[in-house]
């Protein structure tokens, strides 16, 4: 059983707390810190936390605290991590790790130098559908991964600090792109180095300085492409989708919004339907178990099991650092309008990656371009001559 200090008492802290205390888990939140006394006290009452405080060090340093959960705004992450380092406490932190790669690198180096446990709370790689997809891809069901696309769009975040470019470190890219980039990495392979990024970003709707919409491509050393689509301008709720294409197959995942649970209501009843739902009437899309569908249950199980077992979790500060480096390149590309290199001072994956360009053989003379059965029952082959390069079609049945 782990004693947890919660830093933060707002939206994400409450999501985390709901996951940590649900399903009769033995782990307990034993202290909570907030910058506002009334918020800390209310959180403590709601979750039966024995100690609340407006002093971060007090929440962290208590002897019953085994691990600290940082659920604070982006600009406070580094100070909170350093407080954990000074106290010698294990730490897990919400996404993104830093506002940029420089911040993330300092935090990574600090926890590793101190020798403390560190976990990166990227919940969307822990969703049940994502975990199953990762398993199938690992078994070779899709063959060699060519393209992994992840999309997260909604009408915008909940708290005021998200809309402040300096406090958040950016807009939709830093807020949502961190999810999408790490999702693509898990499908392509986290040991495959990201090389460069091409990104478009703009402020289309919101009266803010940061971007509210962006699309980016990340090129990897094995030839695969990761793609992210993020927006704070999407109307209709929270849309979370992934698509992965390989040489032997394709998969589609819908984690939120259109998941097979749809409801029409006149609006006479009121209440919470799903995160970022924009209406209480008409066709709505409830989510049966948000804590599970968004990955929080599996994420904290991995984190706390890893702490207990003395191993690293699936997601560490190092993963957060790589994500920040990719997003830095995306921001540079959005300004220069060209491919920008991913600058990684530390790389722990493969250093030599073979790009598989093997062409599919049909026979000794031809490569197979495509095979299909037509609507009138003929079996047609598209072939390429290995010597001349000529492309022909052949009906074989």
pLDDT value at 373 more than 80: yes
Pair (44, 137) in one structural domain: no
- Domain residues for 392? 361-396
CB 96 within 8 A of CB 327: yes
User: Which residues lie across from 31 on neighbouring strands?
Assistant: 5, 51
Pair (111, 136) in one structural domain: no
> What does the pLDDT look like over 56-93, one tens digit per residue?
999 999 999 999 999 999 999 999 999 999 999 999 99
Pair (326, 270) in one structural domain: yes
Pair (319, 210) in one structural domain: yes
- Between 11-21 and 37-47, two packed helices, what is the crossing angle to 10 degrees? 20
Q: Which among 80, 98, 121 is the end of a domain?
A: 121
**Secondary structure (3-state) at 208:** coil
Instruction: Give residue for tokens 């959180």.
Output: 43
Asked if residue 228 is part of any domain, the answer here is yes
Count CB-CB contacts under 10 A for residue 286: 13
Residue 48 in tokens:
């039966």
Mean pLDDT over 379-387 rounds to: 94
Asked if residue 300 is part of any domain, the answer here is no
Asked if residue 8 is part of any domain, the answer here is yes
Pair (46, 117) in one structural domain: yes
Pair (32, 159) in one structural domain: no
Pair (155, 79) in one structural domain: no
Pair (78, 191) in one structural domain: no
Pair (108, 133) in one structural domain: no
Instruction: For residue 59, give the CATH number of its domain.
Output: 3.40.50.720
Residue of 285 and 66 predicted with greater confidence: 66
- Per-residue confidence (pLDDT) for residue 364, from 0 to 100: 94
Q: Which of 281, 276, 285 is nearest to 258 (CA)?
A: 285
Asked if residue 283 is part of any domain, the answer here is yes
Pair (95, 225) in one structural domain: no
CA distances to 250, 359, 362 from 372, rounded to whole Å, are: 17, 18, 14
Q: How confident is the model at residue 317 (pLDDT cuts 50, 70, 90)?
A: very high
> What is the total count of domains within the chain?
3
- Per-residue confidence (pLDDT) for residue 270, from 0 to 100: 67
Q: Which among 100, 121, 142 is the end of a domain?
A: 121
Pair (290, 329) in one structural domain: yes
> What does the pLDDT look like over 325-352, one tens digit per residue?
999 999 999 999 999 999 999 999 999 8
Pair (138, 212) in one structural domain: yes
């Amino acid at each position: 059983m782990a004693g947890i200090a919660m830093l933060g008492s707002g939206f994400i802290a409450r999501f985390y707390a709901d996951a940590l205390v649900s399903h009769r888990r033995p782990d307990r939140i034993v202290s909570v810190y907030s910058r506002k006394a009334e918020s800390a006290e209310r959180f403590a009452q709601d979750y039966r936390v024995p100690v609340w405080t407006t002093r971060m060090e007090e929440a962290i340093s208590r002897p019953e605290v085994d691990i600290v959960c940082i659920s604070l705004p982006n600009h406070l992450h580094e100070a909170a991590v350093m407080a954990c380092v000074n106290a010698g406490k294990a730490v897990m932190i919400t996404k993104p790790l830093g506002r940029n790669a420089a911040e993330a690198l300092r935090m990574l180096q600090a926890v590793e130098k101190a020798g403390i446990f560190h976990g990166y709370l990227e919940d969307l790689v822990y969703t049940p559908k994502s975990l199953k997809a990762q398993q199938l891809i690992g078994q070779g069901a899709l063959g060699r991964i060519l393209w992994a696309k992840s999309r997260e769009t909604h009408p915008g975040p909940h708290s005021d600090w998200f809309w402040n470019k300096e406090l958040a470190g950016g807009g939709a890219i830093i807020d949502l792109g961190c999810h999408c980039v790490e999702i693509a990495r898990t499908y392509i392979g986290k040991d495959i180095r990201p090389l460069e990024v091409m990104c478009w970003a703009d402020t289309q709707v919101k009266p803010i300085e940061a971007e509210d919409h962006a699309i980016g491509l990340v090129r990897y050393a094995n030839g695969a492409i990761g793609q992210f689509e993020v927006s704070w301008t999407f109307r209709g709720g929270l849309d979370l989708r992934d698509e992965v294409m390989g040489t032997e197959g394709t998969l589609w995942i819908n984690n939120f919004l259109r998941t097979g649970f749809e409801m029409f209501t006149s609006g006479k009843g009121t209440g919470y339907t799903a995160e970022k739902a924009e209406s209480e009437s008409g066709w709505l899309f409830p989510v049966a178990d948000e804590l599970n569908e968004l990955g929080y249950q599996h994420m904290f199980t991995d984190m706390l099991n890893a702490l207990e077992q003395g191993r690293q979790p699936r997601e560490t500060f190092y993963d957060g650092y790589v994500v920040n480096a990719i997003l830095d390149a995306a921001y540079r590309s959005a300004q220069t309008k060209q491919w920008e290199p991913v600058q990684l001072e530390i790389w722990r994956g493969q250093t030599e990656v073979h790009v598989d360009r093997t062409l599919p053989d049909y026979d000794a003379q031809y490569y197979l371009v495509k095979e299909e059965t037509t609507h009138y029952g003929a079996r047609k082959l598209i072939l390429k001559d290995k010597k001349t390069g000529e492309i022909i079609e052949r009906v074989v049945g």
